[in-house]
Chains A and B, each alone.
Chain A
Amino acid sequence: MSFRRDIWRFVNFHIQSSLEHSPFLNPLRGKAFPPPAPPKECLFLTRAGLATRQRSSVRSKRAYTSEASRDDWKMTDDVSNSCQWICRNICQHTRFFSPSLPLSPAPSQPILLPPRYLRTSLLPSLVRTQFKRTAAPAPAPWHSSISFRFVSIFASTQKHEFSKMTRPRHPRTRNPDPEEDSKPTTSSSSGGGGGTAMRVIVPLQGVVQGRGGLVLGSVIPCALFYFLQLYLKRNRSREEHPPPPPSPSSSAEHLPEVPGLQRTLSRAHLSPRGPAHVSGRVNAILRSGDSPDIVGVKKYLEDAYDKMSNPDGVIQLGLAENKVGSDLVRNWLVENGREAMLGDELSISGITNYQPFDGLMELKVAVAEFMSQAIEGAVSFDPSQIVLTTGASAAIEMLSFCIADAGNAFLVPTPYYPSFDCDLKWRSGVEIIPVPCRSADGFSLNFTALDLAFSQAKKRGVKVRGIIISNPSDPVGSLPNRETLYNLLDFATEKNMHIICNEVFVGSTHGEGFLSMAQVADSEDFDRSRVHIIYSLSEDLSLIGFNVGVIYSFNQNVVAAAKKLARFSSISSPTQRMLVSLLSDTRFMQNFIRISREKLGKMYMMFTGELRQLGIECVKGSGGSYCWADMSGLIRSYSEKGELELWDKLLNTAKINVTPGSICHCIEPGWFRFCFTALTEEDIPLVMKRLQKVTETCKSRS
């Protein structure tokens, strides 16, 4: 204890002297710091100050408990100043460094402790953050309660010596108050507020000087943090239910509201009777829910447009649902559905028994054939490299799980398909690094930006495992040209990365020049094991409910791993049987692809033509069931906020649900994706009429 007392005395003395000599407290006095005095004198000085300054500690305690914001300000003020002084003194004495302290210009202003200060003064990070909080000028009530608690936990016998240094900071509050004077005991029970706060730092001096060692340096801050957290928890529940003592269950209920605490539910065992906790990682998934696309879909489901029953309902242009060829498929299913599912000889065991999780071989063969049919036989696909999953989302998740570890990253050119965020981040824990593309380049991939994004990620220490592109691009609808694809493969080879090519709209191209990644990988002597293709039968075949995704990978290990993971998302066999028959009917399929492409192209021309008449230009697209429209002329402020305002107006006034560019992570505001294939041709004029209303109001206002 004796050495601690020595430290106390020493620091006290220095605080004391700097208080006396501080220019802003006592402008007439000292301009420089006094020379260090011998410890004997120090003891004398501190003892002398004791009797006369006791009253201030009572006052300062009042300041903490009071709800008045002015007092709160003073409190934070006090603590921060105290911190400054202590830091300065410790630092000066120990000669680690001698910073020039910024002193507050006017005493009435709250003095903030500059963060860099704390950073340099070897304080452990836990304590540091707490001090930042106390020093914050905002007079929120919980701030004050933190520091108050903080202080009272560590109040000890020597508090008088420290209480006095807060005294000079309270000139305004020291009006005579007999009620306080009559209660001297309170000062000894919970002590001089901000003054005692400084004790927290004093043990750390041991660390600074190398004397305290492990115990002082780590145990004390940890204990502090622990108590603080505990207190914070209890305090919150007390705020909600003032009369009864806080029960553990209520505190656990409120736990998720405390920012920063909800992730680690490490205190689950402290409250054995609380409600059962869900895992921390699922909280992130639960919280994500208010993005515009989900809001839009909800709104649509509540009030869906129907020509007869609900002509004023919301028209859905936000889902890439392709109804262009659905009547063809419907007719086929009505005719052949039964035989397709049960087979010719009505073999029930083919659909009821366990089947391979990664898909029936027959279906894989049929899918491979269909995929090559969609690109006019330019490449043939190997069925053994196919893994079938329940939808493209599962396919992307599985691929990202196999290729990247948690914390690794993928480069994704923006604007990108909004669902990538869920598919890659939720369970795989993979990071997405957006590579911005600009309208000036027609949203084509910019290799300088790609290189920049890669090197920045590398600088941050993030391992980039691959690039994900959509071809045809979703939401823009453009096709990357041959040169881009080759360069991309070169880039990936150079940086040793994987390429995931999302080709779900391969059968929905209506322009010329589609080039599959498989063609590129086939044609040249590239290391193909880095190329993976995602495909889906939903978009092209107008069979969204069937939910069939395809992983086509040139990498044997990835295929092996994906096959094993397919147990978590395997397709039910009636669907598989049906698709085998459907896809094997080559005549129907050829017919289907031809007709749906024709129709799609026609719809596209019509829709973009109508939009142009309204003064809305689209990027020239050659694939996909959507168009990417520039409505930046209609937004009030050129920002994401302005874009969402317009989106809101489209949804609520014009009753059209579209996808705003911001959720596709487009860096330029004002772009929207219109999925026109969910419409019939007769609906287009209605959509235009509704759009016109919005464009007119926007123009008339501006």
Chain B
Amino acid sequence: MRLVVPLRGIVGGRGGLILGTFVPCALFCYLHIRRLRFLATRRVSERAEPIAKAEESPYYVGLGRVSQDPFDEVANPNGIIQLGLSENRLCLDLIEEWLSENLTGAMIGHGGDKRHLGIGGITGYQPHDGVTELKEAMAGFMSQVMGGEISFDPSRIVLTAGATPAIEILCYCLADPGDAFLVPTPYYPGFDRDMTWRTGVELIPVHCHGADNFILSIAALQQAFNQARKRGQRVQGILISNPSNPVGNLLPQKTLHDILDFARKKNIHIISDEIFAGSIHGNEEFFSLAKILDAENFDKSRAHILYGLSKDLSLAGFRVGVIYSYNDDVLAAAKKLTRFSSVSAPTQRLLISLLSDTSFIGRYLETNRKRIRKMYDIFVSGLKEIGVKYVDSSGGLYCWVDMSGLMHSHSVKEELELWDKLLNVAKVNATPGSACHSIEPGWFRCCFTTLSEGNIRIAIERIRKVAEMHKSSR
């Protein structure tokens, strides 16, 4: 009837030309466009729309920029140096050596018994959650990584196509849409996608401060929990990274105990992301959640451990993640859900051989730690030279650097400006703290394991340029 009302103007001779033609035309166009838009199936579902148009955080923008213009000593010396991707390229020679020796054997089987070990094993149907042999090998590998003191039960392992689906599946199993997880900040930027996109779970940041060396305080945890409760939100768990992802420090034993106590008191789950457990280069002792649970009489059914081969074995391309859960229901559900993200059989066969070769693994882990340490020392001494502070860490493939000295004011905006300057002027891609939800601006995560020693010096040199520019501008 709305259409008729403007026309009344014509009928009554009152509205004149504008009302009589312009309004109906505009209306018609509007309706037509709406109709067209409605008819078009071009749009995706409502829930996929935010994903398709996912607002890019600086973390992903930086990664995208590097892939367009990567640094190469010879071919592209003015390219962007990648300090944003936590990938370990220090020990690829070891892996390569092993593969060139054992690949054929691993895939096809050694000589005689071709039918059993061989290709039939990689072409036939496999259980989605991983073949038992690989689970056994993985359990052995995990206990080797954690120092051999803890033994893992292969039947509690679920293998997924990378740690990303492992986190997603765990989230899906533990929480309903609208429920929340407490996550100490700063945290790995990928969690925002992994945990929330499809599961509908929310993340509640629990802020840690530079003054406490970014160690989680139970008081902050309690406060975040209470606030969520007040909002009417159900908190279903805590997600901790140990070694912590952007900072690189290890959680002390006491903090782990406190977190477990807290989880028990509040009846919530605890997920421990220990994907960097084998990349510890310092002298601090690492306490896995499994170790704590072994030692004391906690209710284990609320504990879940995430692991993967991307970091510790430098096999990011293999896409192998591990859910190690003490909860039978979660295991059963996760096993069913792995139909959507299973590891392909050739990779599994290859890994069975690789992980079962314990002497190689032992050698590899030791060399890897030494090399990471060396790179860390080089990077840190470079930072000292140019007068940039950092957190002393003993784990991970990265350094948590305090560049607030290079900023004019203490704000997120200024931090992003500095990030932009680093990326576009100095051509270094580091991850700004705001992408990791750090509450204090000015922190950057720099991953140093993708570079060679010489390139680290170039990266430091580039950062020095920015520092000098800042000084001169002041």
Contact = CB atoms under 8 A, between A and B. Distances in A.
Interface of A: 268-269, 271-282, 285-286, 319, 321, 326, 329-330, 333-334, 337-338, 341-342, 346, 348-355, 390-391, 393-394, 397, 401-406, 408, 422-423, 426-427, 465, 496-498, 527, 529-530, 542-548, 555-558, 560-561, 564-565, 567-575, 578
8 contacts: A281-B177, A285-B336, A341-B103, A401-B198, A545-B122, A546-B346, A568-B340, A575-B344
Contact of A333 (B45, B89, B108): B108
B267 A268 contact: yes
A329 to B, nearest CB: 7
B343 A273 contact: no
Contacts of B333: 278, 282, 285-286
B40 A353 contact: no
Contact of B346 (A391, A545, A560): A545
Given A279-B236, A333-B119, A571-B161, A390 B174 contact: no
Contacts of B52: 402, 557, 560-561, 564
A354 B87 contact: yes
Contacts of A271: 267
A272 B41 contact: no
Interface of B: 38-49, 51-52, 54, 85, 87, 89, 92, 95-96, 99-100, 103-104, 107-108, 114, 118-126, 161-162, 164-165, 168, 172-177, 179, 193-194, 197-198, 234, 236, 264-269, 299, 301-302, 310, 314-320, 327, 329-330, 332-333, 336-337, 339-347, 350
B317 A351 contact: yes
A557 B42 contact: yes
Contact of B54 (A273, A281, A564): A564
Given A329-B119, A353-B87, A565-B48, 13 more contacts: A279-B172, A321-B124, A338-B107, A346-B100, A393-B339, A403-B48, A404-B45, A426-B336, A498-B41, A544-B124, A545-B121, A564-B52, A567-B165
Contacts of B179: 279
A421 to B, nearest CB: 12
Nearest to B93: A348
Contact of B299 (A275, A355, A401, A406): A275
B97 to A, nearest CB: 9
A572 B347 contact: yes
Contacts of A281: 172, 176-177
B316 A337 contact: no
Contact of B347 (A282, A391, A565, A575): A575
Q: Residue among B89, B123, B168, B329 with the most chain A CB within 10 A?
A: B123
Nearest to B270: A276
A547 B126 CA distance: 9
Contacts of B332: 286
A402 B341 contact: no
A356 to B, nearest CB: 9
Q: Residue among B92, B301, B316 with the most chain A CB within 10 A?
A: B316
Contacts of B343: 390, 572
Contacts, number: 261
A573 B317 contact: yes
A342 B317 CA distance: 13
B41 A279 contact: no
B103 A351 contact: no
Contact of A565 (B49, B87, B197, B317): B197
Contacts of A543: 123
Contacts of B39: 496
Contacts of B121: 545
A249 B145 CA distance: 36
Contact of B198 (A349, A427, A573): A427
A279 B174 contact: yes
Contacts of B320: 572
Contacts of B119: 329-330, 333-334, 337
Given A334-B119, A547-B344, A548-B344, A561 B301 contact: no
B42 to A, nearest CB: 5
Contacts of A350: 317
Contacts of B54: 564
Contacts of B194: 567-568
B314 A352 contact: yes
Nearest 6 Cβ contacts at the A-B interface: A545-B345, A276-B302, A573-B317, A561-B52, A348-B96, A569-B341
Contact of B193 (A406, A408, A567): A567
B340 to A, nearest CB: 4
A489 to B, nearest CB: 12
Given A342-B103, A402-B44, A547 B345 contact: yes
Contact of B329 (A286, A497, A529, A565): A286
B122 A319 contact: no
Given A405-B45, A568-B198, A578 B346 contact: yes
Contacts of B269: 276
Contacts of B234: 268-269
A341 B317 CA distance: 12
Given A276-B268, A405-B45, A568-B165, A349 B51 contact: no
Contacts of B118: 330, 334
Contact of A570 (B44, B126, B162, B198): B162
A276 B41 contact: no
A131 to B, nearest CB: 30
A279 B108 CA distance: 42
Contacts of A401: 45, 47-48, 198
A650 to B, nearest CB: 20
A578 B345 CA distance: 12
Given A285-B337, A569-B165, A542 B347 contact: no
A393 B165 CA distance: 15
